[in-house]
Amino acid sequence: MSKNILHSWKNTPLASRVEEGSSKNFKTGSWRSKKPVHNKEICTNCLQCWINCPDNAIKVKDGNIDKIDYDFCKGCGICAEVCPVKAIEMKNEKDE
């Protein structure tokens, strides 16, 4: 099966085998009902959110939080829970 056919997880054929190493082809961000919003002003760049994100959706550049990749963030809220200074707020997806 061609990689180009699998634009998102919704296109995954039922009861079929998916090519190894192809998870980047499945943008799981559409699962989200709440989104994490990062406040750079109070972030201390301790990287706890980056370490704990199960989807590798928090991107780091030069040792600092760069951005949240909303194509893959599923909105689990773990990053907001572990942040010691509450620099990540979970907001309703519809409100953004």
Task: Find the binder of ligand SF4 among 25, 26, 27, 43 (CB under 6 A).
Answer: 43
29 binds ligand SF4 (CB under 6 A): no
The answer to whether 80 and 89 have CB atoms below 8 angstroms apart is yes
Pairing between strand 64-68 and 58-61? antiparallel
Please give the C-alpha separations between residue 42 and each of 75, 84, 88, in angstroms, as whole numbers. Answer: 21, 10, 9
Mask 50-79, x = binds ligand SF4 (CB under 6 A)? ---x-x-xx------x--x----xxxxxxx
**CA–CA dist 68, 57 (Å, integer):** 6
Task: Find the binder of ligand SF4 among 6, 12, 45, 66 (CB under 6 A).
Answer: 45
Binding site for ligand SF4 (CB under 6 A): 36, 38, 43-49, 53, 55, 57-58, 65, 68, 73-79, 82-83, 85, 87-88
